[in-house]
């Protein structure tokens, strides 16, 4: 049986793939050009479906061909190892639909039955969603100000800050399941956990409805400005990163444990545990994925040795060693 690399390198396979409407296709693509950390080896193919229908066609095609694939959202919170990814990575960043849903359009509103329902496709960035809520004078998304990434990945990881999480504003989600069927799942049937949404194996989030409330635009903008100011003060925004590296443990934030272990400022190659915030690893220039993963392993071992706590990564690490 031909491996994924051989299949994708085969001209006939490429012709068949390009013969269906799947959006932009990049073969043998360096993921360092796409990840927020700026590291990563080459993917056999990186594909950007323009619509949900194209995504469905692509997934059905890859399943039929037996080619491994993985959705990667907008490539934030992602580390691709230096050996690259053998298969197809699917970026959802072209799925940019964003609108207020009218009653009768299938919107599932909040548990109190009031408010405004906003639908955002998976590729919409949190910054775009926050800006939209300001323009429309909608309250509820302020906590997302400054969170990197997009709706699909953010909902899947139940992203949050300032005591709020996706579970508090999601009214329903749309998914493409493992056999290529579109499904809508209401909030009451979603199982959110800390930094995770439990979904069926192989499901891809294509969009979400958010239950927001009419509010005062000035007050909403002011709260967003306050949150953004705190983030600028606390987070190392001058360098490329993948956001928070580890999930917080009960009773003590990961960044505080890393700081108390004396690990801030530790460098491997071009990667550094940020001097500004211990739960960030930044690319100081020329970092490799291996530099980042060495620092991750170093942190986990030190905290386990000193505190008996095994930190769980918040970011996703995929691919092969060189």
| Token code pair at residue 74 | 């907008």
Which listed residue (150, 174, 244, 274) is catalytic? Answer: 244
Per the residue annotation, which of 36, 195, 272, 274 is the catalytic one? 195
Q: How far is CA 99 from the centre of its chain?
A: 21
Asked if residues 317 and 79 have their Cβ atoms less than 8 Å apart, the reply is yes
Does the annotation count 195 as an active-site position? yes
Beta 78-80 vs 316-318: how paired, if at all?
parallel
Q: How far is CA 22 from CA 38, 61, 85, 310, in A?
A: 25, 10, 19, 41
Q: Do 206 and 55 form a contact (C-beta atoms < 8 A)?
A: yes
Q: Is position 244 annotated as part of the catalytic site?
A: yes
Helix (H) / strand (E) element for 264: namely none
Is 29 assigned a catalytic role? no
Q: Which long-range contacts (CB under 8 A, 24 or more apart) does 1-4 make?
A: 1/66, 3/86, 4/44, 4/67, 4/68, 4/86, 4/87
Q: Which runs of E-coded beta strand occur in the chain?
A: 24-30, 42-48, 69-73, 78-80, 85-91, 98-101, 116-121, 138-139, 160-161, 164-165, 170-176, 182-186, 191-193, 196-198, 204-214, 240-241, 267-268, 271-273, 281-283, 316-318
Angle, to 10 degrees, between the axis of helix 52-65 and the axis of helix 11-18?
150
From the list 287, 230, 289, the residue with the least C-alpha distance to 79 is 289
- Which of the residues are catalytic? 195, 244, 314
């Amino acid at each position: 049986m031909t491996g994924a690399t051989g299949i994708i390198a085969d001209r006939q396979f490429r012709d068949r793939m390009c013969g269906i409407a799947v959006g932009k296709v990049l073969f043998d693509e360096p993921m360092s050009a796409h990840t927020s950390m700026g590291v990563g080896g080459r993917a056999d193919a990186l594909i950007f479906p323009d619509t949900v229908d194209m995504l469905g066609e692509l997934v059905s095609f890859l399943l039929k061909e037996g080619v491994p694939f993985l959705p990667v959202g907008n490539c934030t919170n992602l580390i691709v190892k230096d050996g690259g990814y053998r298969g197809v990575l699917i970026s959802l960043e072209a799925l940019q639909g964003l609108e207020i849903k009218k009653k009768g359009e299938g919107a599932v509103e909040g548990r109190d039955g009031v408010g405004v329902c906003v639908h955002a496709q998976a590729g919409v960035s949190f910054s775009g969603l926050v800006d939209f809520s300001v323009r429309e004078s909608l309250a509820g998304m302020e906590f997302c100000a400054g969170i990197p990434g997009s709706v699909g990945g953010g909902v899947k990881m139940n992203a949050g800050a300032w005591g709020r999480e996706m579970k508090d504003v999601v009214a329903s989600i749309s998914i493409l399941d493992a056999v290529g069927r579109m499904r809508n799942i209401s909030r009451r049937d979603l199982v959110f956990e800390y930094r995770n949404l439990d979904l069926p194996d192989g499901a891809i989030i294509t969009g979400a409805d958010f239950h927001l409330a009419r509010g005062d635009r000035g007050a909403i903008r002011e709260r967003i400005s306050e949150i953004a100011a705190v983030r600028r003060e606390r987070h190392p925004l001058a360098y490329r990163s993948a956001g928070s590296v580890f999930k917080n443990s009960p009773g003590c934030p990961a960044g505080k444990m890393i700081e108390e272990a004396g690990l801030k400022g530790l460098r491997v190659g071009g990667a550094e545990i940020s001097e500004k915030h211990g739960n960030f690893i930044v690319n100081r220039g020329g970092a490799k994925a291996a530099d980042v993963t060495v620092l991750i392993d170093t942190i986990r071992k030190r905290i386990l040795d000193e505190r008996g706590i095994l930190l769980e990564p918040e970011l996703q690490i995929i691919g092969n060693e060189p």
